[in-house]
Amino acid sequence: MSTNDLANYINGQWVVPDTTDLLEVTNPATLEQLARVPLSVAGEVERAVEAASAAFVEWRRVPANERVRYLFRLRELLETHFDDLAQTITQECGKTLAESRGEMRRAVENVEVACGIPILMQGYNSEDIARGVDEIMIRQPLGVTAIICPFNFPGMIPFWFMPYAIACGNTCIVKPSEKVPLTMRKIFELIDQLDLPPGVLNLVNGAKDVVDAILDHPAIRAVSFVGSSPVARYVYSRAAANGKRAQCQGGAKNPVIVLPDANLDTTTRIMADSAFGCAGQRCLAASVAITVGEARHSFTEAIATAAESRVVGYGLDPGVEMGTVISAESKARIEKLIQRGAEEGAKVLVDGRRPQIPGYEQGHFVRPTILQDVPPTGEIAQTEIFGPVLGLIHLDTIEEAIALVNRGQYGNMACLFTSSGAAARKFRYEVEAGNIGINIGVAAPMAFFPFSGWKESFFGDLHGQGHHAVEFFTQTKVVVERWFQEWSRTF
């Protein structure tokens, strides 16, 4: 292997995997080769599980307040290397530097919340449930856990799970996306400085073979996943069939309703950021704007102007507001779906296909795109595009808009823009989605709230972050005990 080839991190050491199958990692804006990532085989997962299983025996016995001291130290290292990590995200993922910094801020926030594990893991205690009988509920760790990560947020999403898993006393194996492995490589270089007991945290690079090995290994007790809905369903089904806990975040088609009383300037600015931020490659990106009544003409004109004026380029260049999509394949898929929308009858009001970005002509760029009058029952209204494409649908009433939202197969996020409290309450009460925004374009929960999701957007019960993560990574034990007075007199 060359010095540009990545390694796995197993049992506290960097390990060259037993494979010659290497995948190039390239900058999606410049097409510069950044590294080569190994596509590990199942045997590498076995080595990681052996290390994690051995480490769990002692790690679970470490007091919670001592476990979180490692997280306090990790937080400081993440802050010290904050800008370097953000720059790496931009280089391998394509988003702007500001977006990468925002991503890393959310990662740090999750570490901060997990530092509260000594309180978050507390159980319940009830004395004298009967004469001389007490009852206690305690939380204990599961064992070996695994995280399967997506490409779009390589710095943030692993931290929805990882700090909570180890803070609760579990050991953990992380599989980053093979498309963007460098961010997690750098994070594990920081983890290597923590002097964690070997085997508590492990990193295995790879693709589907590694995923399947994780899902099938009997010693792995729980799996966390974020990705597309078809793969989320696959991961959940296979993990559950093998008796594992699973929390699997899937795709989305996030609708936003704009009422006539919404503040036009604010709504347009927020919606442009939601639809086109991260080049639309986030599970909380606005994908469909449903204008109600008189909002149709004013919002359509305003959002089209915002789309046309957005500055697109390399995310490390000053002034750039939107970067690339992840790959040539993604670009081709997005452009094909834009064409499909036109074939279904939508008007391509702003066409972002095949742009020429000076200096980056070979980059994987798609400019912001607006599809007007998208057929509500058409394919394009139901398909997750995962690119900077916003569809516009017009309806006459909020009741019709909510009904359309609820007919969708996904339930990740839904938002409403209005100045009416009554409309806002009706919306948040009736709409079928896990994350709700009122005059918010990206309803991303803070780290102390769960990252919710309904319907085809989530498979499982307990979500990532906060209390849900603590519950997912622990199992409860109820103890009912009686002590007789005559026994106590013998001591």
Alpha helices in 60-170 (DSSP H): 64-80, 82-93, 97-114, 117-120, 162-167
**What span, in angstroms and rounded, lies between the C-alpha atoms of 385 and 389?**
7
Per the residue annotation, which of 93, 168, 278, 283 is the catalytic one? 283
CA–CA gap between residue 218 and residue 233 (Å, rounded): 20
List the Cα angle 153/438/100 in 5-degree steps. Answer: 20
Is 283 designated active site? yes
**How far apart are alpha carbons 437 and 274 in whole angstroms?**
11
What is the C-alpha separation between 220 and 42, in angstroms, rounded?
Answer: 13
Angle between helices 82-93 and 64-80 (to 10 degrees): 70
Q: Rounded distance, CA 103 to CA 88, Å?
A: 12
Residue 328's identity, in one-letter code, is A
- Residue 461 to residue 282: CA distance in whole angstroms: 21
What is the secondary structure of 383-433 as a DSSP string?
S---SSEEEEEEES-HHHHHHHHHHSSEESEEEEE-S-HHHHHHHHHH---
Is residue 391 within 8 A of residue 371, CB to CB? The reply is yes
**Beta pairing class for 435-438 and 389-395:** unpaired
Strand partners, 322: 312
480 closest CA partner among 185, 177, 138, 167: 138
C-alpha to C-alpha distance for 33 and 39, rounded to whole angstroms:
17
Cβ 330 vs Cβ 150: under 8 Å: no
The span from the CA of 375 to the CA of 362, in Å, is: 33
Longest CA–CA span in the chain (Å) reads 87
Active site residues: 283
